[in-house]
Amino acid sequence: MIALTAAQIAEATGGTLHGVAHAQVVAGAVVTDSRDVEPGGLFVALPGEHVDGHDFAAAAVAAGAAAVLAARPLTGEDGSALPTVVVPDVEVALGDLARDVLAQLREAALAPGGSGLRVVGVTGSVGKTTTKDLLAQLCGAAGPTVAPVRSFNNEIGLPLTVLRADESTRFLVLEMGASGPGHLTYLTRIAPPDVAVVLVVGHAHLGGFGGGIEDVARAKSEIVQGLLPEGVAVLNADDPRVVAMAALAPGEVVTFGQSQGAWVRATDVRVDRAGRARFTLVVGDGTPERAQADVALRLVGEHHVHNALAAAAAALTAGLTLDEVATGLSGADALSPHRMHVVDRADGVTVIDDSYNANPDSMRAALKALAVVAGRDRRSIAVLGEMLELGDGSREAHDAIGRLAVRLNIGLTVVVGEGARAIRDGANHEGSWGDEVALADDVDAAAAFLADELRAGDVVLVKSSYGAGLWRLGDILTADPADPADPAATAGTGEPAGVSGS
């Protein structure tokens, strides 16, 4: 965080000072975990479902925190007052602090010699984190860039990301998630974007929106309405609900996609045997200004073409050249864990770990990528868990995924957990039979089953919502199979308890 006095933090957050001098300088990282405290930083004592950050404030100060943002005055074990900025609501205060700091950075960026800071917000039901990662790598090659770690995209993660920026930051890339109406409005009030990217309106978190897909569209459109007055909306031309958001944009609209009318689009898309896409990146509408460049993605899955186009459109809008964008996309890697992470194990098994999140759209894309990578000469295995927060349509959505697995000729589908049982039912109804589908009670049962089942040449996809826990299985399958500590390497022979056939 930029250097602020305790008094300035109190002013920004509506807080009062306890046990700390007005002139105390806070200039280190802003963190919510006392283990991450850096000398001179700010510890944010958030109340949690299982633990309360206030209980760790003394440890944070002992580790070097210059101040604590808290809901009440705090004392150490010896009864002395801890340096605290006391606020009515810690989470709200965190957002208020980020808003104030960003306003200061924007003012400094406009001064002679300033960084020319540009804030880019990314939202959508599918692909936010991958697009954010691509965009961060593109911008990072062009100037100092701050972007979220993992998927820091909510009312806590976004302000923490903003507070990592300083006077040198040229690009601030923000992932903005929404699980209900009003969420993006809250986030854009903290960090109004110069560029707002909307990827797709899908069925992710449908249960939190209180209605159908149109409610999701209205919620996603909040990022467009939250743009700065001269901000640019970057919209998916292939999604009618996203294109319709152009009417809400305060200024310029740029479109991307594979539709003929998109300003940034892909032509001549082809996918190699490893599942990686190549295409021609075309910018313009056929006028003399039209330009094009070749792109060869290193990411696995044809669906990443869409994410790459979104990142390209946003980067071009933010000031990068076409050559910078094409070169950057061709060299970009998957940065966030459990996001189409491909590991070729020493025993000849290929694991595609995409277990961080799942919804019907991303599940379909991952299954198609699995089928491409496996081809006709390798066995494909889909290990699938529950897709959470789908509301009343959950069973139908899971059933459809099971049917798709059969249509794609997936060799073995392992369904993990009772919440995902409808995937097995859908596969059975579509015509799967015998040992083509198995149901595992939990992650441990699935790991033990796969330890006996996997053989050289297999391609394994692991996919579920984060809350379903299959990321643990992803870690097990991508670990060294010779490691004795690995449950997948030490499981016994025979079909383990907790796994049943179709």
Residue 500 assigned ligand-binding role: no
pLDDT at 488: 36
Amino acid letter for position 268: D
Count, in order, helices (H) and strands (E) of the chain.
17, 23
Structural domain contains residue 502: no
What is the rounded end-to-end Cα distance, in angstroms, of the chain?
Answer: 55
107 and 19, same domain (yes or no): no
CATH assignment of the domain containing 429:
3.90.190.20
* Residue at token pair 């963190």: 31
Q: Which two tokens stand for residue 340?
A: 């189409």
Pair 34, 162 in one domain: no
Model pLDDT, residue 149: 85
**H or E element in which residue 353 lies:** strand 350-354
pLDDT of residue 213: 87
| Local confidence pLDDT in tens for the 502 residues of the chain | 999 999 999 999 999 999 999 999 999 999 999 999 999 999 999 998 788 999 999 999 999 999 999 999 999 989 999 999 999 999 999 999 999 999 999 999 999 999 999 999 999 988 999 999 999 999 999 999 999 987 789 999 999 999 999 999 999 999 999 888 999 999 999 999 999 999 999 865 555 555 688 989 999 999 999 999 999 999 999 999 999 999 999 999 999 999 988 999 999 999 998 999 999 999 986 554 569 999 999 999 999 999 999 999 999 999 999 999 999 999 999 888 888 999 999 999 999 999 988 999 999 999 999 999 999 999 999 999 999 988 888 999 999 999 999 999 999 999 999 999 999 999 999 987 768 999 999 999 999 999 999 999 999 999 999 999 999 999 999 985 444 443 333 332 233 344 434 3
Could you please report the per-residue DSSP string of 47-76? Answer: B-SS-BGGGGHHHHHHTT-SEEEESS--B-
Q: Are strands 171-175 and 118-123 parallel, antiparallel or unpaired?
A: parallel
Is residue 127 marked as binding?
yes
Residue 488 lies in a domain: no
Domain containing residue 146 = 93-331
Residue 270 is predicted with a pLDDT of 95
Query: What is the structure's pLDDT at 392?
Result: 84
- 124 in a known ligand binding site: yes
64 within a domain of the structure (yes/no): yes
Q: Cα–chain-centroid distance for residue 246?
A: 24
Q: pTM score, two decimals?
A: 0.86
Same domain, 274 and 150: yes
**463 labeled part of a ligand binding site:** no
Residue 486 lies in a domain: no
Number of folded domains in the chain?
Answer: 3
List, in sequence order, the alpha helices (H) in 431-497: 443-453, 470-478, 487-490
419 assigned ligand-binding residue? no
Question: Considering 67, 88, 109, which residue would you say is the last residue of a domain?
Answer: 88
Q: Does residue 170 share a domain with residue 33?
A: no
Residues shown for the chain:
502
